[in-house]
Structure 1
Amino acid sequence: MDAVDTIAAELRALADPARAEQEKRYLKSDLEHIGVTVPAIRKLAVRAATGLTREKTLALTDRLWRRPVHECRMAAIEVLIRNAPLLKADDLAVAERMIRESHTWAYVDFLAIKVAGNLVLRHPPLATTLDLWAADANFWIRRTAILALIPDIRAGTGDLTRLAKYGDALIEEKEFFIRKALGWVLRELSKKDPDWVTTWVRDRTDRISGVTIREAVRHLPAYDRDALLTAYRS
Structure 2
Amino acid sequence: MANLTPPLFLPIHPENQAPMAKYMRDQFHFLGVKAGERRALLRPLRLQSHQLTPQELQAWLAFYYQQPYREYQYVAIDLAQANVRHMTPAHYQWCYRQITVTPWWDSVDAWRKVLATYILTHDCLQQVGPVYLRATDKWVRRVGITLQLGWKERTDSQYLQTAILANQGDEDFFIQKAIGWALRDYSKVNPEWVRTFVTNHALSALAQREGCKYL
Instruction: Give the TM-score normalised by the residue count of structure 2.
Output: 0.89
Secondary structure at the counterpart of residue 64 of structure 1 = helix
How far did residue 27 of structure 1 move? 1.1
The one-letter code sitting in structure 1 at the alignment partner of 2:20 is E
- Residue 202 (structure 2) pairs with residue 200 (structure 1): no
> Out of 170, 173, 182, which is 2:179 matched to?
182
- Residue 89 (structure 2) pairs with residue 89 (structure 1): yes
Higher helix content, 1 or 2: 1
Aligned to 2:120: 121
User: Against the structure 1 CA distance between its residues 185 and 71, is the aligned structure 2 distance closer, same or farther, given a 3 Å change threshold?
Assistant: same
Aligned to 2:136: 137
CA distance in 1, matches of 2:199, 2:191: 12
Greater shift in the superposed pair: 20-29 or 71-80: 20-29
Number of residues of Structure 1 aligned to a counterpart in Structure 2: 210
> Does the CA-based 8 Å contact 1:149-1:158 persist in structure 2?
yes
Which sections of structure 2, spanning at least 5 residues, go unmatched? none
How far did residue 35 of structure 1 move? 1.1
CA distance in 2, matches of 1:195, 1:161: 15
How far did residue 16 of structure 1 move? 3.0
- Residue 16 (structure 2) pairs with residue 42 (structure 1): no
Which sections of structure 1, spanning at least 5 residues, go unmatched? 221-234
The one-letter code sitting in structure 2 at the alignment partner of 1:93 is Q
Greater shift in the superposed pair: 132-141 or 41-50: 41-50
- Residue 73 (structure 2) pairs with residue 73 (structure 1): yes
How far did residue 37 of structure 1 move? 1.2
How far did residue 85 of structure 1 move? 1.3
> Does the CA-based 8 Å contact 1:58-1:80 persist in structure 2?
no
Aligned to 1:226: none
The one-letter code sitting in structure 2 at the alignment partner of 1:120 is I
User: Against the structure 1 CA distance between its residues 214 and 17, is the aligned structure 2 distance closer, same or farther, given a 3 Å change threshold?
Assistant: farther
The one-letter code sitting in structure 1 at the alignment partner of 2:210 is E
CA distance in 2, matches of 1:57, 1:157: 30
How far did residue 125 of structure 1 move? 2.7
CA distance in 1, matches of 2:59, 2:119: 22
CA distance in 1, matches of 2:165, 2:21: 35
| Cα-to-partner distance string for 1:138-164 (whole Å, 9 max, x where unaligned) | 10000111121224x33x211100101
| Cα-to-partner distance string for 1:90-129 (whole Å, 9 max, x where unaligned) | 42211112111032011010111x2110111012235432
Aligned to 1:218: 213
Aligned to 1:4: 6
- Residue 165 (structure 2) pairs with residue 168 (structure 1): yes
Instruction: Give the TM-score normalised by the residue count of structure 1.
Output: 0.83
CA distance in 1, matches of 2:28, 2:133: 28
How far did residue 82 of structure 1 move? 1.1
- Residue 59 (structure 2) pairs with residue 59 (structure 1): yes
Aligned to 1:224: none
Residue identity over aligned pairs, in percent, reads 24
